[in-house]
Amino acid sequence: MHYTAELAKKDPEAVTVFIGPCVAKRYEGINDPLVDFVMTFEELDALFEASNIKVQECAAATFDHLPSAEGRGFAVTGGVAAAVNAVVNGRVEIKPICINGIKPAMLRLFKMYPKGKNPGNLIEMMTCEGGCIAGAGVVCSAKKTVKDVGKFAAQAAPITSMNKDENKE
């Protein structure tokens, strides 16, 4: 969010709006000096409804730069760890532990880490079970969204094919 806002702000006329899945991210956005406005997907949906905007009928926008497959897939549990793994690209062995939702079994796993008993070396913390696709401010069921995000990610190139030079360093 911050670095995307930084890119956008290279245009002095740019107004940045962070749209996210929950109040936690909303809070993070509102405290970022490069983010002008924040809203959740639910609020955006309400805005579309009130303005009678049908997203399906809008013309598709083109992008200057397309995100990677991992960049598209991070919002599903396991996606952040997969993105880190792709960027590290074998230079270090990544053994991710995904905390998938705040529930007793996950908290027990999390508490093992400071005791040195956790088998992983990277913790991905998803407060919402399923990941950010299940945030309190989203409008679709996580079950449906996980499939849609998977399809959306599969349409993009993997990080390893995008940052070849960077990954050699």
Where do contacts with ligand SF4 occur on this chain (CB under 6 A)?
21-22, 24-25, 126-128, 131-132, 135
Q: Which residue, 79 or 86, has its beta carbon nearer to ligand SF4?
A: 79
Residue 72 CB, nearest distance to ligand SF4 (Å)?
A: 15
Q: Specify the residue, 42 or 160, whose C-beta has the smaller distance to ligand SF4.
A: 42
- Give residue 54's Cα distance to chain centre: 24
Query: Strand (E) positions, 84-132?
Result: 96-100, 122-126
**By Cβ distance, which residue is nearest to ligand SF4?**
135
Q: Give the C-alpha distances (Å, rounded to integers) separating 103 from 3, 10, 65, 129, 133.
A: 32, 42, 38, 9, 17
Q: Closest CB to ligand SF4 among 9 and 32?
A: 32
Q: Which two tokens stand for residue 123?
A: 């913790």
Closest CB to ligand SF4 among residues 97, 162: 97
Least separation in angstroms between CB 69 and ligand SF4: 19
Cα(53)–Cα(5) distance, integer angstroms: 25
CB crowding 116-151: b at 16 or more within 10 Å, else e: eeeeeeeebebbbebbbbbbebbeeebeebbeebee
Question: What is the smallest separation between the CB atom of 137 and ligand SF4, expressed in angstroms?
Answer: 7
In the complex, minimum distance from the CB of residue 127 to ligand SF4, in angstroms, rounded to a whole number: 4
Closest approach of ligand SF4 to the CB of residue 31, in Å: 14
Decide whether 75 or 162 has the Cβ nearer to ligand SF4: 75
Tokens of residue 35, six digits: 């983010």
